[in-house]
Structures are given as C-alpha cells and as structure tokens.
Amino acid sequence: MSEKYLHDTIVPFESSNETKKEQVAKMFDSIASRYDFLNRFLSAGIDIKWRKKAISQLKDIWPKHILDVATGTADMAIMEVRLLNPDKITGIDISNKMLDIGRQKIDKQGLGEKITLLNGDSETINFPDNSFDAVTVAFGVRNFENLEKGLSEIRRVLKPGGKLVVLEFSKPKTKWFSWFYNIYMKIVAPQFGKMFSKNKEAYSYLNNSIQAFPEGNAFVEILNKQGYSYTSCKKLSLGICSIYCGSK
C-alpha cells in the first residue's frame, strides 16, 4: 500500500469533485497555449539553465532510450535530443492539449524520428519492465496523484542500471530570500497567470503544491523507500529548484 503525502491532496480546483489527476489534466489543457511563454516569463528564462543541468546528470550513462514523464510541451525531450543525442525519446503526459503543442514544436524542428509523444499516466506507464535507459521528470512529480506509485512505476520501466532524474521546485532556506520568494509565488505569479492565461487557479496551485511537496532529504528518502540506489539531491538558485537522482 502506497503512503499518502500532503502534496497528493493538493488540487487546482478545491471546489471540484474530480480527482487530482482529472483536475491537473484540465488545468494544463486550459493554459497550454500560454504555458511556454509563462514559463520563460515567470522564471526570467532560468528554467532553461535548470533543465540543462538536470539533463547533464545523464552524461555518465549516455542513455539511448529515454522516457520523459509529464513531458508537457516537450521542452525537456527536445533539449535531451540536443544535449544527449539518444536514439529515441518517448514523452508521456495526461494533457492532450499540451501534447498537441509539443508535437507542433517537434515537427517544426524536424525531430519527429527522435521524439514520440503519447497520452500517458505516470502511475500506469504502458511499457514493459526494463524498457528505458533513463527517465526524466521536469516539474511534474508535484502533480502525481500518488507519489509513491508513480515513482514505483518509473523504477519498473527502468532497465537495471538505468537512472531517474527529477527536476522540481523547492523552497529557499535563506530568510531574506524566502520572504521575497513567498511574496512572488503567492501574489505576483498568480496575478500574471490570471493576466496571461486567464487561469489564476493554475498559478495559485503552483505555489500550494510547492509548499506541500516533500522536498530535499524527505524526497530522497521516498526514492530510497521505492528501491532506488545512489540517490542524491542538488539545490539550484538559492534553493528554489532541486535536481534529484536515483538509479535502479
């Protein structure tokens, strides 16, 4: 039986009777057309550097077949082609509209032979055991309805010796920066989200899910519990983002 965590109960629309998974899919469908713009705008472009640092964690194994979970508009998958040149990348996501935009980007860059995007759920990954050399998840594990089940499924489809790399938001520990960060995430980001995507709830959910997520050593312990080895956590940008690694 998978353990439940506070973040598993954080949902975008508190008045809805839908499951977290259903709400998350609906939320991303609603902001898909502005998602990439808001990512760059709200992070001042630093999310690109974070992704590059996360992908560089795979250079010790140079994977040939990568699964990108919660691939969204395929930013991570496209960057993995550029930096790692694997034979194949499969991206899965529960939001069809995010996937549609990802496919447009892939086609525009002529990467259709390298990257395939599929509608798929982290908790029931539709691939056999031991299918992938590496799995990446960028800003997606917070959205898992059942964190342990998702991580267990990812480990199942990893080949022995395969590696998981998770890039996720975290909370800064420095007092002065924490004050600024909290104001930005609680007030500024939701207002910009409302202005540009017409969906304030999505960016309020962003902060709420970050606050509830078991970050740092707590997340490393969850990886250990699910059977990962060589687990680690690396903080970025004064602690507002973290890279987690684990091997099968």
Does the pLDDT at position 13 exceed 90? no
Q: From CA 127, how far away is CA 188, in angstroms rounded?
A: 40
Q: How far is CA 53 from CA 59, 138, 211, 245, in A?
A: 10, 11, 23, 12
- The type of residue at 75 is D
For residues 44 and 101, which has the higher predicted lDDT (pLDDT)?
Answer: 101
- For the chain, the first-to-last Cα distance in angstroms comes to 21
> Which of 97, 86, 99 lies closest to 136, judged by CA?
86
Instruction: Identify the pLDDT of residue 3.
Output: 64
Tokens of 174: 């420095």
Q: Tokens 């790692």 label which residue?
A: 84
Instruction: Identify the pLDDT of residue 7.
Output: 66
* pLDDT band at residue 51 using 50, 70 and 90 as cut-offs: very high
Per residue in 122-133, pLDDT tens? 999 999 999 999
38-118-211 Cα angle (round to 5):
40
Instruction: Identify the pLDDT of residue 196.
Output: 67
Per residue in 151-196, pLDDT tens? 999 999 999 999 999 999 999 988 888 999 899 888 887 787 677 6
* pLDDT band at residue 2 using 50, 70 and 90 as cut-offs: low
Beta bridge partners of 234: 243
Say what the pTM is.
Answer: 0.94
Tokens of 40: 């760059």
Task: Indicate the burial class of 36 (C-beta count within 10 angstroms; 0-12, 13-18, 19 or more).
Answer: middle
For residues 13 and 90, which has the higher predicted lDDT (pLDDT)?
Answer: 90
Q: From CA 70, how far away is CA 16, in angstroms rounded?
A: 22
Q: Tokens 């069809």 label which residue?
A: 96
Helix axes of 96-108 and 20-43: crossing angle, nearest 10 degrees = 40
Percent of the chain with pLDDT over 70: 94
Give the number of C-alpha atoms closer than 13 A to the C-alpha of residue 43, restricted to the C-beta side. Answer: 19
DSSP 121: B
Does the pLDDT at position 1 exceed 60? no
Please tell me the least confidently modeled range out of 2-16, 25-39, 79-93, 181-195: 2-16
Q: Which homologous superfamily is 6-247 in?
A: Vaccinia Virus protein VP39 (3.40.50.150)
For residues 193 and 64, which has the higher predicted lDDT (pLDDT)?
Answer: 64
Q: Beta strands 229-236 and 158-169: pairing type?
A: unpaired
Task: Indicate the burial class of 23 (C-beta count within 10 angstroms; 0-12, 13-18, 19 or more).
Answer: buried
